[in-house]
A and B are shown apart, each in its own frame.
Chain A
Amino acid sequence: NAGVMQNPRHLVRRRGQEARLRCSPMKGHSHVYWYRQLPEEGLKFMVYLQKENIIDESGMPKERFSAEFPKEGPSILRIQQVVRGDSAAYFCASSSQMGQRDTEAFFGQGTRLTVV
């Protein structure tokens, strides 16, 4: 059973380009979470998705950022018109159930985005 898979592992974009980060949850998991780790800072929650639904996007920047988790395929975190401040490690986590107290989150290896 493969873990949470994120790709690419490293991504370099010029200012103004678009960045697309992909996350395939663990097999059997239908809940995906995106977190961002800025340099010298802790991980911050961005968005929580179920298949075809955004459940909680309270941590998403208001502009340029969007996320989806289609019925088929991986979850995508999309950043339009990237700026240097978007440079960070973006982590995806998945879990099997929502609202269950014993649910454990499993994390991917992250995508390190560098904006030049």
Chain B
Amino acid sequence: KQEVTQIPAALSVPEGENLVLNCSFTDSAIYNLQWFRQDPGKGLTSLLLIQSSQREQTSGRLNASLDKSSGRSTLYIAASQPGDSATYLCAVRTGGGNKLTFGTGTQLKVEL
């Protein structure tokens, strides 16, 4: 059974700092991995999708890496801003059907 863990559960940083969020999964036979952002009381916004054959994906100040063999992914946020404050979720897709297994998220707060 796939299990996804995210560390840390919560993180508070000053504005401008670079930071790394971690995601680990127990079954390395994944098809892809997605990072999402969730604002309080809101839905999920897809940030980055990494296919199993890829090592990393970049979008603006975000960079996600994937090490499938070790079951790890990181989300790097450069020059953090208060608007980055949200919960970041990692999810992996294992097998057909696009069923996603989610981690419990990292709650990020970027302070002025």
Contacts and interface: CB of A to CB of B under 8 A. Distances in A.
Nearest to A94: B98
B97 A101 contact: no
A112 interface: yes
Interface stretch (B13-21, B61-69, B71-79, B102-110): B102-110
A107 B98 contact: no
A31 B100 CA distance: 13
A43 interface: yes
Contacts of B51: 101-102
B40 to A, nearest CB: 11
A104 B49 contact: yes
B21 to A, nearest CB: 15
Contacts of B31: 101
A98 B96 contact: yes
B97 A99 contact: yes
Contacts of B98: 31, 33, 48, 93, 95, 98, 103, 105
A109 interface: yes
Nearest to A41: B104
A11 to B, nearest CB: 14
A44 B2 CA distance: 12
Interface residues of B, number: 27
Interface in B74-108: 89, 91, 93, 96-105
Interface string A12-49: 00000000000000000001010100000111110010
A25 to B, nearest CB: 12
B99 A42 contact: no
Contact of A48 (B32, B49, B97): B97
Interface of A: 31, 33, 35, 41-45, 48, 55-56, 91, 93, 95, 98-99, 101-110, 112
Interface of B: 4, 31-32, 34, 36, 41-46, 49, 51-52, 89, 91, 93, 96-105
23 contacts: A33-B98, A33-B100, A35-B100, A41-B104, A42-B4, A42-B102, A43-B44, A45-B101, A48-B98, A55-B97, A56-B99, A91-B43, A98-B96, A99-B96, A101-B31, A101-B51, A101-B52, A103-B98, A104-B34, A104-B46, A106-B46, A107-B45, A109-B43
